[in-house]
């Protein structure tokens, strides 16, 4: 029956091949010569080939042994590299952290935390998957992301959700739009304007429709897009207005765009931390999460302004 090739057997073969001498190799490995011979013999039996030719004066490689030597060295190097890599991961010196984050939340939550984290652990690479709410949730559930920043409406029994902040929906429009000069916006004001909405596959659209339908309010979409950033671009181009999470909006000093508070009902999404309850967090991921919660701890479930 074929046994596994053992690391120590490979190590013994490489050293004998390099030194051309069983006696010296045995000394280096702190083995007796018979024990070293048994290791080489076992390796040859497993591979079903002859690797070394032994004479009374010296030991040399067979043709197959010459071909196998660089392969054996590569296996040893990869093994040692892997062990070293695991030690580095354990001490957070190297590795990769993957975060599945809503695109609109990435700019708000992550840069300040990444800056502090990278200063403390500069060897850790960070991948940000800026994907939709549903995609982000799936990435966390499948273990493709260490954790996510998502909406509470994207809940799933396989994840735990920690609220961080409430993000109200606002009316996004150009500063020169007639509605921008109104003291208060009413739902009736939107009947005669071209409304830009995101598709019904979007978690934001689902949340908005559910909140409005409960009060009998119906929106008439004129343009439909896939991403919030696209709808904001169309608003800036003067093609219409949009109802978006406030977090999506640029700063108050923007030359073209502005936002206005919407009337009741108060529509808002809760943004928070999503972790899998079936996969344990790596130590590196927990370090980042601790920094994230420390940063937003005082504002947890506060409203975005």
Domain 167-269 has CATH 3.40.190.10: yes
Name every residue whose Cβ is closer than 8 Å to that of residue 60 and which is 6 or more positions away in sequence.
20, 52, 53
Q: Do domains 7-90 and 167-269 have the same CATH topology?
A: no
Q: What's the pLDDT score for residue 115?
A: 92
* CATH architecture group of domain 7-90: Orthogonal Bundle (1.10)
Q: What is the pLDDT of residues 90-135, one digit of tens each?
A: 555 667 889 999 988 888 888 889 999 998 888 888 999 998 888 8
Q: Where are the domains of the chain?
A: 7-90, 95-164+270-303, 167-269
Q: Which fold has domain 95-164+270-303?
A: D-Maltodextrin-Binding Protein; domain 2 (3.40.190)
Distance (Å, whole) CA 149 – CA 110: 9
Q: Which of 104, 234, 252, 233 is nearest to 175 (CA)?
A: 252
How far apart are alpha carbons 55 and 22 in whole angstroms?
A: 11
3-state secondary structure of 144: coil
SS3 assignment for 203-234: HHHHHHHHHHHCCCCCCCEEEEECCHHHHHHH
Beta bridge partners of 169: 245
Tens digits of residue pLDDT in 20-42: 888 888 888 888 888 988 998 98
Q: Which residues of the chain have pLDDT under 50?
A: 1-3
Task: Tell me the whole-structure pTM to 2 decimals.
Answer: 0.63
């Amino acid at each position: 029956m074929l046994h596994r090739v053992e690391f120590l057997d490979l190590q013994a073969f490489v050293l004998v091949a390099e030194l051309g001498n069983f006696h010296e190799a045995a000394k280096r490995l702190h083995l007796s010569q018979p024990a070293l011979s048994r290791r080489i013999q076992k390796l040859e039996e497993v591979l079903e080939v002859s690797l070394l030719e032994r004479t009374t004066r010296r030991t040399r490689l067979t043709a197959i042994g010459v071909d196998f030597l660089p392969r054996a060295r590569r296996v040893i190097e990869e093994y040692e590299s892997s062990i070293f890599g695991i030690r580095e991961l354990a001490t957070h010196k190297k590795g990769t952290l993957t975060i599945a984050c809503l695109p609109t939340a990435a700019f708000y939550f992550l840069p300040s935390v990444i800056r502090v984290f990278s200063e403390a652990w500069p060897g850790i690479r960070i991948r940000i998957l800026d994907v939709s709410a549903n995609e982000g949730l799936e990435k966390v559930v499948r273990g493709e992301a260490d954790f996510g920043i998502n909406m509470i409406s994207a809940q799933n029994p396989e994840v735990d959700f920690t609220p961080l902040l409430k993000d109200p929906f606002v009316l996004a429009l150009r500063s020169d739009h007639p509605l921008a000069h109104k003291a208060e916006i009413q739902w009736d004001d939107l009947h005669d304007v071209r409304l830009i909405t995101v598709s019904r596959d979007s978690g934001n659209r689902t949340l908005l429709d559910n909140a409005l339908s409960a009060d009998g309010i119906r929106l008439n979409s004129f343009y439909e897009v896939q991403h919030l950033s696209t709808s904001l671009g169309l608003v800036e181009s003067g093609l219409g207005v949009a109802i978006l999470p406030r977090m999506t909006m640029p700063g108050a000093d923007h030359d073209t765009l502005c936002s206005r508070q919407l009337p009741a009902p108060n529509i808002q999404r809760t943004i928070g931390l999503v972790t899998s309850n079936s996969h344990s967090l790596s130590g590196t991921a927990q370090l980042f999460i601790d920094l994230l919660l420390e940063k937003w701890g005082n504002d947890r479930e506060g409203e975005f302004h």
